[in-house]
Amino acid sequence: MKSVYWDTSCILALYVPEAISAQAATLAGEENKALISSAILEYEMTFALGAKEARGEISPGAAATVLAKFQSDLQRGRFLLVPLGQDIKVRASRIAANILQSHPPTLLRTLDGIHIATALQLDAREILTADKRMADVSLLLGLKTGYLKATL
């Protein structure tokens, strides 16, 4: 069975309050196996948590505490992180070339392109993200997208 691929935006919401935290928790609870993402997740979590702490969105010292919880979950097998190999690098480069040649050109951040390339390389059945641009590009490339957005 094909897996769901998790973008950092959705995994971060499992650890700190976000508008999509309830949605992400429900979807994570429905998974009976490890959540799949790219190995870049570890670095993105570190930077995102540090930025949240610097902006005052989480209390001082919370970034280290949350990161330790994430690392513990990683060690316990809650996540399966896919290495950033040459195959994914090549696919990400192709994605960049394709979307930049579209009319109008579609802009995508580098790490989002790596996430999409990883999901495509894994033949994931769906990619979960809270990033609208990433969701749009994923759909453009034929990948089913679970776009989590805040509901009022």
Write down all domains in the chain, each with its CATH number in brackets.
4-147 (3.40.50.1010)
> Quick check: bond before 104 cis, omega within 30?
yes
Residue 16: C-alpha distances to residues 27, 95, 113 (Å): 16, 31, 24
Which 8-state DSSP code applies to residue 125? S
In tens digits, the chain (152 residues) has pLDDT values of 489 999 999 999 999 999 999 999 999 999 989 999 999 999 999 999 999 999 999 999 999 999 999 999 999 999 999 999 999 999 999 999 988 888 888 889 999 999 999 999 999 989 999 999 999 999 989 999 999 987 64
Q: pLDDT at position 151, please?
A: 60
- Average pLDDT over the chain, rounded to an integer: 94
Can you tell me which residue has the tokens 């950033």? 84
The rounded distance, in Å, linking the Cα atoms of 38 and 25 is: 19
Model confidence, pTM: 0.93
